[in-house]
Structure 1
């Protein structure tokens, strides 16, 4: 309960200190507002969650994350800055015992204590970007970026704050993405009418791989960290977007490559996403006897809008994913998740959800567990 009260206090402080004009009824100067709208955009987001499980000995936990995003547009390019803060996961909490069950947990790379990465405040992204195309996508980006957002995109299953929490329903589980890293992306989704491309080149050692040390992140020594590279063909239509890609991660402790497929289909009755991936490892099993890697992946997600009356429509989502592992541990992870995102007031959303996940016990027998979650989002 102490953690829950702490989250509620954080929400109250954000409202009081970041929206004084709305709370006390004052009007912002129109000229300043117009100027800010023209060249700059600022958004603060708060995501808090309370997650439990029926697994004995595992503690329920309340977590929160704060995201401050600033975007400024110049004549021919733009600048994006993302400041992020996340709370500390519990020593024996759900997010530690069920890896990838909460993709919004421990997203910042603090110190490692008791086998867990503590939360902190950090600059997660700082990059330049080019003019947007007809689909609203920038032609190029260069700087510190979240690599997992540069390929394998989806309108249905790609955002852990407003959609699915389970990592298997956010990205393709076979792709060995680095953390926030120095990256570059070129893309043109209309290069050949409805057929386009994305090209990504990134350091394979991001903030997490460098233990949160920015000095090491910007220390570029050829051959010492490896690279992450990807090429993706994208076909876009009125009701669909399909991506087919190849990736490779040459980091010494990863040494993997693979192919992947992503398909979004949008309709009046609901939206569907399907992902498939195959990956192989180049690690020497004699030198890395305990290494295991995801070799095959499949996921299917569905969302539909539900009219809730005067408010914006709510969103009901259902998804499942299957990940096969090879190497030292050969098993299949199965994940299911259902959520309902309910708009409470303007930019405030409440999302109850439940996950069913299998977990391999010490005797190698797979057991299923339930993970109920309440999530609160607020944007200012």
Structure 2
């Protein structure tokens, strides 16, 4: 059955408010605002879909260099499904390119049980805003194997390739590519 989720929050969290809880609710402070989102969802024969929109009324500086302050907004869609034992996830998103450094996003992930592990592969592209001077799209690909241990504990070794990661420590956000190997631990209860 379909449904609707609504969210209203401050545009700033505790770390943005000098650690004072009372400032979380002062939406009239300079530069602050509200974050609101609405998401519709529903089920289809082999999965779930979600479509949403969000708005952030905090002051955002325009990327074209003009002195105007603007709100930020975005739209997104998510679908999860499967065929046989294979599971998939698709995500799409758009944001206001006049203030968001990332104007669009698309990602797909596939998972397949294989003996003692669940094997997964994913690829994601984050598009630089057309208003961002010198901006470049980012691309990330990942392979992983999730092993279910005992009592809800999971260990997931992974290998990622990221183009234009900005993770090289040089201060440049245009590093051409980087390889990252890691291990994630999880607990499901």
For residue 258 of structure 1, report the CA deviation from its aligned partner.
1.5
Distance in structure 2 (CA, Å) of the matches to 1:229 and 1:349: 34
Of the two structures, which has the highest relative contact order with CA contacts closer than 8 Å and spacing of 6 or more?
A: 1
Q: 1:271 aligns with which of 87, 104, 107?
A: 87
Total equivalences in the alignment: 173
Q: Over the residues paired in the alignment, what is the CA RMSD in angstroms?
A: 2.6
- What residue is the counterpart of 1:201 in the other structure? 8
More strand by share: 2
The equivalent of 1:296 in structure 2 is 104
Cross-structure match for 1:280: 96
Partner of 1:244: 51
Which of these residues, 160, 176, 185, is aligned with residue 367 of structure 1?
Answer: 176
Alignment TM-score, normalising by the size of structure 1: 0.41
Equivalent position of 1:344 in the other structure = 149
- Measured in 2, the distance between the counterparts of 1:199 and 1:363 equals 38
TM-aligned CA deviation for residue 353 of structure 1: 0.5
Write out aligned runs for 1:257-268 (5 A).
257-268=73-84
Shift of 1:216: 4.6
Distance 2:172 2:183 in 1: 32
Partner Cα separation in structure 1 for residue 140 and residue 174 of structure 2: 16
SS at match of 2:21: helix
Cα offset, 1:266, TM superposition: 2.5
CA distance in 2, matches of 1:216, 1:264: 39
1:217–1:342 CA distance, 2 compared to 1 (3 A): farther
Distance 1:358 1:197, change over 3 A: same
Q: How far apart, CA to CA, are the structure 2 residues paired with 1:264 and 1:342? A: 21
**How high is the TM-score relative to the length of structure 2?**
0.78
Q: Which has the higher helix share?
A: 1
Structure with the greater alpha carbon radius of gyration? 1
1:330 matched residue in structure 2: 135
Task: Tell me which residue corresponds to 1:63.
Answer: none
Unaligned runs of 5+ in 2: 62-70
Q: CA 1:198–1:342 in 2, change beyond 3 Å: closer, same or farther?
A: same
